[in-house]
Amino acid sequence: MKYNIAVVKGDGIGPEIVNEAMKVLDKIGEKFGHEFVYNEVLAGGCAIDATGMPLPQETVDACLASDSVLLGAVGGPKWDNLPGDKRPEKALLGLRSALGLFANLRPAMMFGELADACPLKKEVIGEGLDILIVRELIGGVYFGERGRRQTENMGEEAYDIMAYSEKEVERIGRVAFEMAKKRNFKVTSVDKANVLETSRLWRSVMHKLKEEYPDVEYNDFLVDNTAMQLVSNPGQFDVIVTENMFGDILSDEASMVTGSIGMLPSASLGEGTRGLYEPIHGSAPDIAGKNMANPLATILSLGMMLRYSFGLMEEAEAVENAVKSVLAKGYRTADIMSDGKTLVGTVEMGELVKKELN
């Protein structure tokens, strides 16, 4: 089979980590007899530099014409002082929305090999950690009306509106329940229903939906309590489903609990099979170009692409197993380095994973 992949390397460490992922994908193609065709396009800071805009229409069109999108990271200090709609981050938001990618899957799991990197006490972490955060990605306060206005005597005022419709809640809820059925049959829906009207609607839609999934255990958590539970008893969670901004915050927290943000992939999906796959970490401008970045989250994102967009389960497992073998052999990039292990750079790590696929 032939697959067309739009590649957005982006800024900072983006190009380095995506290059390694592409090498691994080529190896998968060779091994399993698929052809992966890349179409490299600009988005983020590099697009601002080249075209004046963070998300050129050409990039959107190329992504829409692709079977799937692989993305490194966007943003950096160079573009930090631009106005909101000209910032590199706008590219990411624009792509998510243009491609209709409402469901963001962020697995936070602890790799046995990296258990020492977990900042929590052993008694707290127990058996380890394997949570899937399902974050709504194209609604809520991220995409609501925003603006500024002058008040009479309180100076200027800014506002960002958070809105959710029943349909938006239902479709993300459904993704969470379906995922739970493939995992440990437990959904925790996170909201702030003691304060927010959007959360009260969210909760009522979830309650209707859970009737369709009697075999899935369901509970409601408030977001503040969830933040606390993630560090006091993370083992209780299986699938967490939540709105856009809560999901943004909780997924960073959950990733830190695993101790290795440089290891965590993500998938953003819509109605069809086209998705956008990216590591959950950022562009790390401080280490860009130094052959120091960890390419594993991007490589694992590829694994998710193979699984969710192309239905290539065996290939996806091959990628995941290759990553695990390399870790088991003691190779580490700087971010996950510990005593007695072998320190390698970005390129070496990519090569090692590729070699496991021989």
- Taking CB under 5 A as the binding criterion, the range among 86-94, 106-114, 243-251, 331-339 that sits at the site for Mn ion is 243-251
Query: Would you report the helix, strand and coil content of the chain in percent, each value rounded to 5?
Result: 50, 20, 30
H-type alpha helices, the chain: 14-32, 45-51, 57-64, 89-98, 122-125, 166-181, 197-210, 223-232, 244-258, 296-304, 313-328, 346-356
In the complex with ligand IPM, the residue whose CB is nearer, 252 or 351, is 252
Question: CA 204 to CA 76: how far, in whole Å?
Answer: 40
Per CB under 6 A, which of residues 226..285 are in contact with ligand IPM? 248
Per CB under 6 A, which of residues 79..98 are in contact with ligand IPM? 89, 92-93
Asked if 11 is part of the footprint of ligand IPM (rule: CB under 6 A), the reply reads no
In the complex with Mn ion, the residue whose CB is nearer, 248 or 320, is 248
Asked if 136 is part of the footprint of ligand IPM (rule: CB under 6 A), the reply reads no
Instruction: Give catalytic status of residue 49 as yes or no.
Output: no
DSSP state of 336: G
State the minimum distance, in angstroms, from the CB of residue 102 to ligand IPM: 13
State the minimum distance, in angstroms, from the CB of residue 93 to ligand IPM: 6
User: What tokens were used for 293?
Assistant: 């970045």
Report which residue's Cβ sits closest to Mn ion: 248
Considering 49, 80, 160, 224, which one is annotated as catalytic?
Answer: 224
Give the number of other CB atoms < 10 A from CB of residue 354: 20
State the minimum distance, in angstroms, from the CB of residue 159 to ligand IPM: 19
Question: CA 58 to CA 40: how far, in whole Å?
Answer: 11
Question: CA 42 to CA 50: how far, in whole Å?
Answer: 8
Considering 11, 67, 191, 248, which one is annotated as catalytic?
Answer: 248
Considering 220, 252, 324, 341, which one is annotated as catalytic?
Answer: 252
Instruction: Give catalytic status of residue 252 as yes or no.
Output: yes
Contacts of 273 (CB under 8 A, 6+ apart): 67, 68, 308, 309, 310, 311
Tell me how many degrees the CA angle 88-350-6 measures, rounded to the nearest 5.
Answer: 40
Asked if 136 is part of the footprint of Mn ion (rule: CB under 5 A), the reply reads no
Asked if 248 is part of the footprint of Mn ion (rule: CB under 5 A), the reply reads yes
Instruction: Give catalytic status of residue 210 as yes or no.
Output: no
- Residues forming contacts to Mn ion in the complex (CB under 5 A) are 248
Q: Annotated active-site positions, please? A: 142, 192, 224, 248, 252
- Residues forming contacts to ligand IPM in the complex (CB under 6 A) are 89, 92-93, 248
